[in-house]
């Protein structure tokens, strides 16, 4: 649009302007196809396109995983889907079921909690089923027909602009195959703005206008104004409450990072007054109660957070609360849920090993300790427990090996240093 406006102001001829645009597009494409330090990943367009066909790439494998899990949602609820907005809530459960099949083990390194399907069409199919996909397909067909019609009706001077608008629309539609542009507010609004401009420019700038308010009586106009005013106030309150709650929520997070738990709790409770159903708030309140040693209240808040949020962190901290209460079986169950969602959750493996060790199940404990240090090379707690276990079993060489590994990670670790000094190492 800036080029169009610049062309009109500078009064450049149509032909010269078109060649200017073509040359500019070629130069920009060549520039971004080459390596540039301005690019975050240091890859040009050619490398990025070729990476799309590398199934071992984290981006590709991660998308294939979330698309397959989305497909399982569609298979289970084919007609109306799982419900709008439920994808981020139900995805962890479907992911755990999918990874529970040994045939899908190759996807385990790429498992993580997803809020979106990284494909707007898959997400519509998962949340709205065939009904939603049919409506979406109808909209695409209507838009395609309207685009062709706009190109035919546009005058010579407007053809380039209309073609650019049509190209922008279908570029977004293609981008939705591997991303989620229509779920991002800025790109979503841009899409509908471009569609509006397309219909206006496709009619050669001619638009129809009408105002039904002219046909209303004065009394009905007064009622209409009052109704609009009331709706505006109600909508403002509905929109404002979560925003105010978010302010207190972020203040609470800042206090939590500074270990100011009393101030953090006060801000979280204020936030809950404004936004009582927000899962993240109940999680933070539960986490703060856990840090304060109020395990029963922590479990209650974690349970409330699970009503609107499904996360491995909730299960992990709930398991921690049960473990500190001495309720081993409940703790084991929630640690296993956290691991099912996030298989490489090293702290969950380490803590699950601790619970098994406390119950005398050393075979399971050792397996989880080894898994923890396999996923996190800097995991200290699991190494300490393994060193102590082998020391008690009389295998001094293994114990010393783990203590030396700990000092390489944390040279200030007093427990490991004390043991090595005891053996003169």
On whether both 294 and 244 belong to a single domain, the answer is: yes
N-terminal to C-terminal alpha carbon distance within the chain: 72
What pLDDT band is residue 222 in, cutting at 50, 70 and 90?
confident
Mean pLDDT of 377-402: 87
Residues 85 and 197 in one domain: yes
Give the residue with greater pLDDT, 33 vs 322: 322
Mutual orientation of helices 328-341 and 346-358 as an angle, nearest 10°? 160
Q: What percent of the chain has pLDDT over 70?
A: 80
pLDDT, averaged across the chain: 80
Q: Do 198 and 166 meet the contact criterion of CB atoms below 8 Å apart?
A: yes
The residue out of 51, 70, 86 marking a domain boundary is 51
pLDDT > 90 in the chain, percent? 24
**Is 211 within a domain?**
no
Tokens of 101: 């099949």
Is residue 379 one of the residues assigned to a domain? Answer: no
Tell whether 59 and 194 lie within a shared domain.
yes
User: With bands split at pLDDT 50, 70 and 90, how would you rate the model's confidence at 311?
Assistant: confident
- 94-119, pLDDT tens digit by residue? 887 887 777 877 777 777 666 678 88
Residue 49 — pLDDT band, cuts 50, 70, 90?
Answer: low
Q: Does one domain contain both 237 and 158?
A: no
Look at residue 291 and tell me if it is in a domain: yes
Whether 188 and 229 share a structural domain: no
Name residue, tokens 């800036």: 2
What's residue 83's pLDDT? 87
Judged against a pLDDT cut of 50, whether residue 2 lies above it is answered with: no
Domain membership flag for residue 99: yes
299 and 287, same domain (yes or no): yes
Q: Does residue 125 lie in a domain region? A: yes
Task: Of 18-22, 36-40, 65-69, 144-148, give the range with the top mean pLDDT.
Answer: 65-69
Specify whether 193 is located in the same domain as 117: yes
Domain assignment present for 117? yes
Residue keyed to tokens 């293994």 = 398
6 plus 118 within the same structural domain: no
* Residue that finishes a domain, picked among 167, 202, 237: 202
Identify whether residues 132 and 187 lie together within a single domain. Answer: yes
Q: Which residues contact 419 (CB under 8 A, 6 or more apart)?
A: 387, 391, 399, 400, 403
Domain span at residue 23 reads: 1-51
Q: Is 294 found in the same domain as 191?
A: no
How many CB atoms are located within 10 Å of the residue 83 CB? 14
Q: Are residues 13 and 115 in the same domain?
A: no
Q: Give the model's pLDDT for residue 219.
A: 73
Same domain membership, residue 287 and residue 225: yes
Tell me how many domains the chain contains: 3
The answer to whether the beta carbons of residues 153 and 202 sit under 8 Å apart is: yes
Q: Is 364 domain-assigned? A: no
Instruction: Look up the pTM and report it.
Output: 0.64
Q: Which tokens sit at 78? A: 């084919």
159, pLDDT greater than 70: yes
Distances (CA, A) of 360 to 273, 286, 307, 328, 365: 45, 30, 35, 12, 9
Listed residues 171, 202, 233: the one ending a domain = 202
The SS3 assignment for 34 reads: coil
In a domain, 326, yes or no: no
User: What CATH number is associated with residue 250?
Assistant: 1.25.40.10
Across 6-18, average pLDDT = 49
């Amino acid at each position: 649009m800036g080029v169009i406006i610049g062309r009109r102001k500078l009064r450049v001829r149509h032909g010269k302007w078109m060649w200017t645009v073509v040359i500019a597009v070629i130069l920009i494409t060549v520039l971004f196809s080459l390596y540039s330090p301005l690019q975050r990943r240091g890859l040009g367009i050619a490398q990025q396109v070729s990476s799309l066909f590398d199934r071992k790439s984290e981006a590709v494998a991660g998308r294939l995983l979330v698309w397959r899990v989305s497909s399982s949602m569609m298979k289970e609820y084919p007609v109306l889907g799982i419900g709008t907005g439920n994808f981020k809530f139900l995805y962890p459960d479907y992911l755990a079921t999918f990874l529970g099949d040994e045939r899908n083990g190759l996807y385990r390194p790429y498992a993580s909690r997803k809020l979106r399907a990284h494909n707007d069409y898959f997400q519509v199919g998962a949340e709205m089923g065939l009904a939603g996909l049919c409506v979406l397909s109808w909209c695409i067909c209507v838009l395609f027909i309207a685009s062709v019609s706009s190109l035919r009706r546009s005058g010579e001077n407007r053809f380039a602009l209309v073609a650019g608008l049509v190209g922008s629309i279908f570029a977004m539609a293609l981008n939705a195959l591997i991303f989620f542009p229509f779920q991002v507010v800025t790109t979503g609004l841009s899409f509908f703005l471009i569609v509006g401009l397309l219909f206006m420019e496709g009619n050669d700038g001619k638009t129809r206008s009408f105002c039904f308010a002219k046909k209303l009586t004065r009394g009905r106009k007064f009622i209409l104004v009052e109704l609009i005013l009331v709706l505006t106030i109600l909508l403002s309150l509905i929109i404002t409450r979560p925003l105010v709650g978010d302010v207190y929520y972020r203040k609470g997070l800042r206090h939590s990072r500074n270990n100011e738990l009393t101030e953090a709790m006060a801000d979280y409770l204020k936030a809950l007054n404004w936004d009582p159903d927000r899962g993240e708030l109940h999680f933070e309140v539960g986490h703060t109660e856990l840090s304060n040693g109020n395990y029963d209240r922590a479990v209650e808040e974690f349970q409330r957070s699970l009503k609107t949020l499904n996360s491995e962190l909730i299960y992990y901290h709930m398991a921690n609360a049960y473990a500190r209460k001495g309720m081993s079986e409940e703790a084991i169950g929630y640690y296993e849920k956290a691991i099912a969602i996030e298989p490489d959750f090293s702290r969950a493996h380490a803590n699950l090993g601790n619970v098994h060790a406390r119950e005398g199940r050393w075979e399971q404990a050792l397996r989880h300790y080894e898994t923890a240090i396999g996923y996190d090379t800097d995991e200290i707690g699991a190494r300490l427990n393994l060193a102590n276990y082998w020391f008690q079993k009389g295998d001094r060489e293994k114990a010393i090996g783990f203590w030396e590994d700990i000092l390489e990670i944390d040279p200030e670790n007093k427990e490991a240093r004390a043991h090595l000094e005891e053996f003169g190492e």
